[in-house]
Structure 1
Amino acid sequence: MTTAETGTGTGVGALLRGWRERRQLSQLRLALRADSSARHISFIETGRSRPSQEMVLRLAEHLDVPVRERNTLLLAAGYAPHYPETPLDDPAMDALRGGMERLLAAHDPYPALVVDGVFRVLAVNRSLGVLLDGVTPRLLAPPLNAMRITLHPEGLAPRIANLRQWRRHLLERMERQIELVRSAPLRALYEEVSAYPEPANRLLDDTDEDIAELFPFALPLRVAYRGRVLSFLSTVATFNTPMDVTVSELAMETFLPADAQTAAVLREAAPREAVPRA
């Protein structure tokens, strides 16, 4: 289980105070939301009162604490974890896994993948091979990591025409996730990929002005592929109200063609591209 970095102590009171301060809520505001009193919240945070299991879960919900860290709060308060962490290959996950696989396949001939909370690649569709073309084999050895593959100088980075903009977008995305979950493994990954040097063999170099002129509606991912530049818009989908740690950290990222040329190339290329096993 990942240990939360929130708060300055390991007791449930210190952890809850850390989450409340990160959400910029006063004790009174949190108390009103949780149908409690500011005095009781203060007693919990200072360790003068031990919250019930129900209160821990209620406060965690109103503080928008991620599912994994809700279990951390319960353990700190002396209770058993409430949310299971079921491996994705467990038979109990057959329906969920099958649904994701059908969504991935339905997105062909456009690339799509599923990642976990530290961007490990759990599943891909066939069309993702277009993006992985030319990536060094060692980055494609399991377990694959989407951030490493994208930003490493021997990964996708040399082929990204707007690398500076896309790199900034990905790092900001990781920063927002770290702010939410305070995960030590995610922080370590961020420090690793943010330190990667810029590739020496850049194929193209779009400027901010180029991108703004070509795509005023959303930042695309622009990738060189066999003599042409493909432009993608990406979307990220997560599950509503997850009750399992594994499910709470799953994210499906899908790439849509941002222009007619990209759509045509993908329709032509997808059937022959191979993808690595995640």
Structure 2
Amino acid sequence: MKILITGGTGLIGRHLIPRLLELGHSVTVVTRNPAKAQQLLDARVSLWKGLSEQTHLNDIDAVINLAGEPIADKRWNEQQKQRLCNSRWEITQRLVDLIHASDNPPQVLISGSAAGYYGDLGEVVVTEEEPPHNEFTHKLCARWEQIASSAQSDRTRVCLLRTGVVLAPKGGILGKLLPLFRLGLGGPIGNGRQYMAWIHIDDMLNGILWLLDNDLRGPFNMVSPYPVRNEQFAHTLGHVLQRPAIMRAPAFAVRLMMGESSVLVLGGQRALPKRLEAAGFAFRWYDLEEALGDVVTP
């Protein structure tokens, strides 16, 4: 297949592209910085500098849309919120426009979203049918999904990736946590009771490939079948690293440091991958300790 990817230099994209190439697919990455992308990616990857010069996607079999500014890297003020939205909405809208302009459109659009779509639902077990809370993360993801879904037709199916916390070496949440935990300075955040919907990078990639190869559409929770509380996550990571994990970060301090974006770590979703499992997908990584051991071991 000829596959077009946005966000190809991000955490998921960097791991997904080698898998696609191994399977014999042809990969083109949309990037704002071709020189940087060329350094990071396999030489077999073709590069497009943005989408402004494209008028259709007739030669593309599948689109995987992973682009978006990292949501937790900066405090949320109104300007940052707009950047977070625009970095997702605008490129997704452009892809949809190109799909509609194609005489022979891609067979599938797999487009990013997040478990944050549901907002903070506390103890509620969350499947794809659960009504969300009307928080900023929901507004961001709902509009993102709405735009992507407008590409749906009898010739193009749309899959939406409601992704949880991705566990991967050299990046993502572990890239931020490991330095602290290795110094013995890690621990639960707030009361530690909030749920973390997590997924091992291998299951994330296999899930995307599953959606690529099977006639499926709609939203999919890209999370392990066994979400854990933040307290359990912290203690398990400390155990894997053979370090204490008792330095609790008080909720008030987290709110002071992160502002409104503190909801990302003080809240959570007890999300389950109901539709993915119902479609026959088999997870490899169920146990958090095994998953963390795999990704943090040198």
TM over 0.5: no
Larger % of strand: which?
Answer: 2
Larger Rg over CA atoms: 1
User: How high is the TM-score relative to the length of structure 2?
Assistant: 0.23
- TM-score by length of structure 1 reads 0.24
Answer 1 or 2: higher relative contact order, Cα 8 Å, separation at least 6: 1
Higher helix content, 1 or 2: 1
